Structure 1
Amino acid sequence: MRRLIAEFEKQSFTQIIFPHAKSDWVDYLEEAQETFVNIINAITKYQECLVVCDDVESVKSRFKENENLYFVEYETNDTWARDCSALCIEDGNSIKLLDFTFTGWGSKFEASKDNAMSSAIKKCYDKELKKVDLILEGGALESNGVETILTTSECMLNKNRNAKSSRDQMSKKLQDEFGMSRILYLNHGYLAGDDTDSHVDTLARFIDEKSIMYVQCTDESDEHFGELKLMEDELQAFRDEYGFRLIALPMSDACYFDGERLPATYANFLFINDAVLVPTYGVKQDEEALEIFKETFPTRDIIGINCFSLIKQHGSLHCVTMNFAKGVEII
């Protein structure tokens, strides 16, 4: 049996790409680096973390000695590990790493170094890395670990990715690569300021085999209200047909930088072993969101991480990290 391992399952380590002066973080580099340090320190209290960085000695000096912290030197274009890192599948009795093609979200940005990263650092993994001839970003799909992949048609079927693939053809490709029998598409939902063409990890997430957390907008004056209500209707239809449980997360108050609304979303949380890291943005909904996570995950620690600096570059906590499943080791 082949399956895309779910993020809520046991993990071996988290991979993260540290911001550097040649990345888009340059205008507020120190602020961004401090946020990444906070994320890494939170992760390494629970599990190992592999940090990809342009200068190992410089980045290493920011941390105390930590047996859960590993570094590998490689210069990337940017730092969105979720979208350019390998994905873990279980294939029979073994775990394999799939390396898809990353084009900077439909060739919006230069991404050749990011696309080459997994092959360049494959020496760090003790499992086989397989190159897959398909344009795909990790943030574009959610797995329940059994039979279902949740994605969005705006991203997965966008002609700026795999232009020759119809919906049926794309579904077949996903089924073939991941071994999952059910591919569900959300046709609605977006966040202002998002460059990804509506990645599902900003909107709706599996938290177990039968439960989906999603962003709910109740403010009719908010520009997102119509689309997120239609998305909620779609999720309710999935609930009715497949028996999913739905848990609503609040919509953050609008956050701005240089006059632009930013994609602040609590759906961009991160699972690690025994904990959930939750992005916060310095708005009143932060406390409500954290309470929902505490109620939903009573056996996990809930840790808020201020991610305002991340949304300045149009992503958040989940976007800058990638989980590797238990059984994959750093070497």
Structure 2
Amino acid sequence: MLPDATETTTITVPPEWALLKAVWTAWPADADEWNGDLEAPRRDVAALVTALAEANKVRLLVNGPEAEASARAALGGTCEFVQARYGDIWLRDTGPIFARTHLGQVALRFATNSWGGKYDLPDDATVGDDIARVSETDIRRFDFVLEGGAIDHDGEGTILTTRQTLLNPNRNGWTREQAEAALAEAFGARKIIWIDEGLKNDHTDGHIDNIARFVGPGRVVCQAAAGDDDPNKETLDAIAATLAAATDASGRKLQVARIPGVGLYRNAHGEVSPASHMNFIIANGLVVVPVYGTATQEPALAALQAVFPDHKVVGVPSQGLLGAGTAGGGSFHCITQQEPR
């Protein structure tokens, strides 16, 4: 184990469009977490890794011999396989957040309470340390609960987040002032832009990475309702209005691009699901976007291609990761963590 980085230094978190050394993700390994069906989420993870591997180093965690054997059979030599223990594959929340100080790169590690006590799985609290060790990155610890999907950075001191997650009594019981002080300490945040709530039936209590994302300095994307039956129509309109009225840490008024949303989407159990095109991963040379076979899929990809003219925008099916019931609930951003160069 590397020593904790405890020096008092200024922390900056690179934006997600910065050049990457590697993308970390994980292979579904516990059938109990996936309604007994590992094939569907494994198919989605394999497609994601294959897409990323065109121009990126992918480091895939595998938990146990069967997971490694099945991952190697599916992916061959497209990625690096790393044996590790983890509860499930949501590395955005359980992995480290890679940041920089004047001393070099650090892995920021936070407490976890299983998404407000809902999904208590063994090894979710330690997998972030394992990633830091393998990446040879010093750890800096904070004693408050935070999931990486709850915040989005512009690399210049602005953070997007939701009240529904960060001010939820099932996390830290923070006031807004306490939350902002903690984000300033951990990330050097100078401005917090608060969104009220996320998508309906989101297991995470409204993570920001499913509803709004920075795509450049002073630029954000969010979704537009897919029709009058969109269960999130009012929420999506409120998100866009909040962003349009906001300024970032540098005082810039945000430029807001609205991307066609997924709309009403029901999973295999018939439940309204938090399917979202916002759960994309930005990597070297490309952006991988979750798609669900809906009527808005192609317009959403075209709109995101206009947002990312210097990247190849690729749509990859994500129904397996979305899952049903208590299984799944996320997509590609949720299961990855980027390691900047």
Which residue is 2:230 aligned to? Answer: 222
Which consecutive residues of structure 1, in runs of 5 or more, have no partner in the other structure? 327-331
Which of 181, 184, 205 aligns to 2:190? It is 181
1:17 is matched with which residue: 26, 39, 43?
A: 26
User: Separation in 2 of the partners of 1:120 and 1:2?
Assistant: 21
Match of 1:263?
A: 274
Q: Is the 8 A contact 1:103 1:111 kept in 2?
A: no
**Structure 1 residues 218, 130: CA separation in 2 closer, same or farther (over 3 Å shift)?**
same
Within the alignment, does 1:302 sit opposite 2:313 as a pair?
A: yes
Return the letter of the residue paired with 1:192: K
CA 1:254/1:204 → structure 2, altered by over 3 Å: closer, same or farther? same
CA distance 1:185–1:112, shift in 2 (3 Å): farther
1:140 is aligned to: 150
Spell out the pairing of 1:316-327 with structure 2 (5 A cutoff): 316-326=331-341
SS at match of 1:149: strand
- Residue 171 of structure 1 aligns with which residue? 180
Aligned position for 1:235: 243
- Tell me the residue number matched to 1:34: 43
* Partners of 1:15 and 1:91 in 2: CA distance: 21
Structure 2 residue 15 is the aligned partner of structure 1 residue 6: yes
Corresponding residue for residue 120 of structure 1:
130
What is the CA distance between 1:105 and its match in structure 2?
0.9
Query: What is the CA distance between 1:206 and its match in structure 2?
Result: 0.1
CA drift of 1:21 comes to: 3.1
Q: 1:199 aligns with which of 202, 207, 210?
A: 207
For residues 91-102 of structure 1, the aligned pairs below 5 Å read 91-102=101-112
Deviations, residues 61-89 of structure 1 (Å, cap 9, x unaligned): 322224xx212212322111111010011
Is residue 293 of structure 2 the alignment partner of residue 285 of structure 1? no
Contact residue 20 and residue 26 of structure 1 kept, 8 A: no
Give the aligned residue type for 1:132: F
Structure 2 CA distance for aligned equivalents of residues 23 and 74 of structure 1: 18
* Distance change (3 Å), C-alpha of 1:63 and 1:105: same
Aligned counterparts of 2:161 and 2:237: Cα–Cα separation in 1: 17
CA contact (8 A) 1:175 1:183 kept: no
State the shift of 1:103 in Å.
Answer: 2.0
Contact 1:105 1:161 in 2 (8 A): yes
Residue 256 of structure 1 and its aligned partner are, at CA, apart by 1.2
Deviation of 1:93 (Å)? 4.8
User: When the two structures are superposed, what TM-score results if normalisation uses the length of structure 2?
Assistant: 0.90
Retained in 2: the 8 A contact 1:253–1:284?
no
Structure 2, unaligned runs of 5 or more = 1-9
In 2, the alpha carbon distance for the partners of 1:139 and 1:5 equals 15
Q: Report if the CA contact (8 A) 2:277-2:289 is conserved.
A: yes
The separation in 2 between residues aligned to 1:248 and 1:6, in whole angstroms, is 20
CA distance in 1, matches of 2:119, 2:159: 27
SS in 2 for 1:319: coil
SS in 1 for 2:298: helix
Indicate the SS of the match to 1:28. coil
Equivalent positions of 1:46-61 (< 5 A) are 46-55=55-64, 56-61=68-73
Following superposition, the deviation at residue 319 of structure 1 comes to 0.8
- More displaced 10-residue stretch of structure 1: 283-292 or 128-137: 128-137
Contact 1:151 1:200 (C-alpha < 8 Å) held by counterparts: yes
Rounded Cα–Cα distance in structure 1 between residues aligned with 2:110 and 2:147: 7
Residue 23 of structure 1, CA deviation:
4.8
Q: Give the RMSD, CA atoms, in angstroms.
A: 1.7
Amino acid at match of 1:263: P
Report the Cα distance in structure 2 between the residues aligned to 1:117 and 1:175, rounded to whole angstroms.
25
The range that moved more, 111-120 or 178-187, is: 111-120
Shift of 1:134: 1.4
1:227, distance to aligned residue in structure 2 (A):
2.1
The number of residues matched between the two structures is 322
Q: Quickly say closer, same or farther: Cα 1:239–1:146, change in 2 above 3 A.
A: closer
Distance 1:150 1:220 in 2: 27
Residue 16 of structure 1 aligns to a residue whose secondary structure is strand
TM-aligned CA distance change 1:218 to 1:308, over 3 Å: closer
